[in-house]
Structure 1
């Protein structure tokens, strides 16, 4: 259970549900309930497939590129740190990933009840499973094994489904400002986790010399 919690939390922070929920609402505001549900299911399937693929291809990637877990810890930690700092200092991470304006532009050309081909990009990838989440999955697999990491992926995908299903109604009650505040707190924890990854990687490199 301790390992599962340790694997779940970094991935939960990397996915950043409070941060991507407002964009999901913005992308689907003209959708009917059925089309919104279909979009969500397809996006989650795309994100889950990518997450599982990266999980089981992690060792192959290590061997092919000639890298170690400590290299990935430092490199991945730097990526997460840049994402967290950019989000905290320069605004919403979703706009930085380029999905918001393009997604809303696509919606203008489609009727309310017509499905729009948005599940894979940008909703599933990279909003739900982006570079930060991929890096976290690879590192977690090396630390806790594929069973614990797969369980963490499944739990996080379930939380995304629940949050995106009921989030629009809750967000209307809480207000957009509250959602942004929660997203900022998540980014702060992401920065702390990234620093911990970098520290562990450097210590591992020093110990291996």
Structure 2
């Protein structure tokens, strides 16, 4: 079961990654970066995020083995990170601070990493490996990268359509989804 393509798993993982990447909730940050830098290369940002996520999905296990950790321990740690990110989204607080240094091009840093493929995303990817087939995770990563690309290309239009209130509601809704995911990951990997 963990080696087969399963559209239900793809849908589940796609929704989880969509919530953790939170590209829609990041629209205000992306708009700010675009204003400060002048231009964002959507293709470059999406492709870089895709490569980072897929690489971490495959090499993350080996990195853990080198430092003596198992997937369940990493999944529990990941569930705590996801829990904190969810609380940030729901309560409108900021626990994780981002670097304010903006280089001439923001397509790679801070947009692709750490905004899109950041610590929360990487932790989630390894956590998901304990419950979902790798092929389904890869397909979900590609689907999310496509969504990220579309959002980056149309960020101004989306801002006008959703408005400030709409963006706030989406961010809080995905925060609640992430909170439930964090609790599920914790329970399934801790034996509770």
Please state which band the TM-score falls in when normalised by the shorter chain.
0.7 to 0.9
Q: What are the equivalent positions in structure 2 for 1:73-112 lying under 5 Å apart?
A: 73-91=75-93, 96-98=96-98, 101-103=100-102
Does residue 7 in structure 1 map to residue 7 in structure 2?
no
Does residue 54 in structure 1 map to residue 60 in structure 2?
no
1:168-197 deviation line (CA, Å, top 9, x unaligned): 112113312211221111111111110111
Q: Distance in 1 between matches of 2:119 and 2:154?
A: 26
Q: Which has the higher helix share?
A: 1
| Paired residues of 2:9 and 2:136 also in contact (CA < 8 A) | yes
**Change beyond 3 A, Cα 1:17–1:92:** farther
Q: SS state of the match for residue 24, structure 1? A: helix
Q: Distance in 2 between matches of 1:23 and 1:133?
A: 17
1:25-69 deviation line (CA, Å, top 9, x unaligned): 12113677xx43xx2222112211211110110221232122222
Aligned residues: 186
TM-score by length of 1: 0.80
Higher mean C-alpha displacement, 126-135 vs 141-150: 141-150
| Paired residues of 2:37 and 2:106 also in contact (CA < 8 A) | no
Over the aligned positions, Cα root-mean-square deviation in angstroms equals 2.1
| Paired residues of 2:25 and 2:167 also in contact (CA < 8 A) | yes
The higher radius of gyration belongs to 1
